[in-house]
Amino acid sequence: MKIVLGFLCIFCLSNLHAQDCTSLAPMKEGMELEYTTYNKKGKDSGAMRLSVKEAAANSAVLTSELINQKGKVQGNFEYSVKCEDGVFLVDMSMFFDSQQLQTFGDMQMEMTSDYLEFPSGAKPGDKLPDGSVEAKVKSGDLVIMTIKMEITDHTVEARESITTPAGTFDCMKTSYSFNSKFGFIKMSGSATNWLATDVGSIKSENFDKKGNISGSTELTMLKS
């Protein structure tokens, strides 16, 4: 299963003053971001375009397109983000690759998804709550396949300045471990993400279970 790993919190940080919440996603309608993805050898392997579809005072719906090296859209998905009681929440259904799910055609899909939590005022050394999402592919009452993704050991590591083709950003560096299951196929590893206020993910790196880099992404275009 292709899971949109690295884009966790691609979707992270703007201010919702009404609820004193530090958001971790672009929240302005019309805002557009483009990310370039790289394989484990550092070679360009495609892109992702992110835009804000709808925005309200304390919530937003984001849409994303996954693009291959030839510029063809291979999949798209949308997910929600919101602020409640000073905690920024990201719908974990974003971790599922919509193109992969579309291969099941008209079969029923039952989704159970957490919101990944980012409390306001999080600082280096803080442990963030875990999260999970599960989808059951069904034909009638028969479960054909179960797809699951879990995020654990989510931690704020440091504050760092990161420069990409989109500019230089003051970032919160976070890390987490992941475990995923697509039928009988299992995968685990870890990731590091750099997040900037009012923008979201600036850069991310993914690692396999042995600690070897398996891919990365960086923000290459920002239009507000």
Which 3 state secondary structure label does DSSP give 100? helix
Distance CA 5, CA 1 (A): 11
Q: What is the mean predicted confidence (pLDDT) over 10-34?
A: 65
Task: Report how far residue 113's alpha carbon sits from residue 98's, in angstroms, rounded to the nearest whole number.
Answer: 15
Distance from C-alpha of 150 to C-alpha of 177, rounded to nearest angstrom: 8
Neighbours of 26 (CB within 10 A): 27
Q: Is residue 211 predicted with pLDDT exceeding 90?
A: yes
Using one digit for the tens of pLDDT, what is the confidence trace for 59-96? Answer: 889 888 888 888 888 777 788 888 888 888 888 877 76
pLDDT at position 101 is 57
Instruction: Look at residue 90 in the predicted model and tell me its pLDDT.
Output: 85
Give the confidence band of 20 by pLDDT, cuts at 50, 70, 90: low
CA distance 60 to 150: 23
- Answer yes or no: is pLDDT of 13 > 50: no
Higher pLDDT, 9 or 151: 151
Domains detected in the chain: 15-223 (2.40.360.20)
Q: What are the tens digits of pLDDT across the range 25-34? A: 788 888 999 9
- Sequence-ordered strand ranges (E) for the chain: 15-16, 21-22, 32-39, 44-55, 59-67, 73-84, 87-91, 108-113, 115-119, 131-139, 142-164, 167-182, 185-196, 200-208, 213-223
Q: Is 35 helix (H, G, I), strand (E, B) or coil?
A: strand
Q: What is the pLDDT of residue 102?
A: 54
pTM, two decimals, is 0.80
- Specify burial of residue 129 (Cβ count, 10 A radius: 0-12, 13-18, 19+): middle
The per-residue pLDDT for 104 is 63
Which pLDDT score, from 0 to 100, does residue 192 have? 96
- Residues 190 and 195: their CA atoms lie apart, in Å, by 16
Q: What's the pLDDT score for residue 9?
A: 44
**Amino acid code (one letter) for 127:** K
**For the purposes of burial, counting CB atoms within 10 Å of the CB of 58, is it exposed (0-12), middle (13-18) or buried (19 or more)?**
middle
At residue 103, the pLDDT reads 60
Q: How far apart are CA 82 and CA 85, in angstroms?
A: 10
Comparison of pLDDT for 19 and 87, the residue scoring more: 87
Check if the beta carbon of residue 76 is closer than 8 Å to that of residue 98.
yes
Render pLDDT for 116-141 as a digit per residue (tens, 0 to 9).
Answer: 888 888 899 999 999 998 888 888 88
3-state secondary structure 39-55: ECCCCEEEEEEEEEEEE
Percent of the chain with pLDDT over 70: 84
